[in-house]
Amino acid sequence: QVQLVESGGGLVQPGGSLRLSCAASGKIFRIGAMGWHRQGSGKQRELVATITSSGSTNYADSADSVKGRFTISRDNAKNTVYLQMNSLKPEDTAVYYCNADLRASGSYDYHNYWGQGTQVTVSS
């Protein structure tokens, strides 16, 4: 069964760093664009960053000062996307969700999938 599984979340102090990972598993033929979203308590989910299959990246303007602190990358051989988060702030606290366009083996088109989310808490 095709799925996305996030890992790497946890508790970190302000100014600290975390690296989130999201691995696609199952009978996958091809992976398209991948990305990260986050949802803080009482807030709507927002886009953080995306990366295409060729490595083109985009960082959302709506995210609080994400660009310059966060870096999205991917390892196509491992079917994995990463989010390196540096200089973390309390306002970065949220559940982070992985998203990807996946084409399953035997399928003729891509479908969009979401991971279950991983909690990131930035607190002193």
Average pLDDT over residues 78-93: 96
Confidence of residue 46 (pLDDT cuts 50, 70, 90): very high
Phi, psi of 76 (to 5 degrees): -65, -30
DSSP for 32-56, written as a single string:
EEEEEEEE-TTS--EEEEEE-TT--
Q: What percent of the chain has pLDDT over 70?
A: 98
**Cα 103 from Cα 42, distance rounded (Å):** 33
Mean pLDDT taken over the chain = 94
The residue type at 81: V
**Cα 102 from Cα 79, distance rounded (Å):** 10
**Cα 69 from Cα 86, distance rounded (Å):** 5
Beta strands at 10-12 and 118-122: parallel, antiparallel or unpaired: parallel
User: What pLDDT sits at residue 67?
Assistant: 78
User: What pLDDT sits at residue 64?
Assistant: 66
Tens of pLDDT, residue by residue over 5-25, are 999 999 999 999 999 999 999
Under a CB-based contact definition with an 8 Å cutoff, are residues 26 and 3 in contact?
yes
* Tokens 């399928």 found at: 107
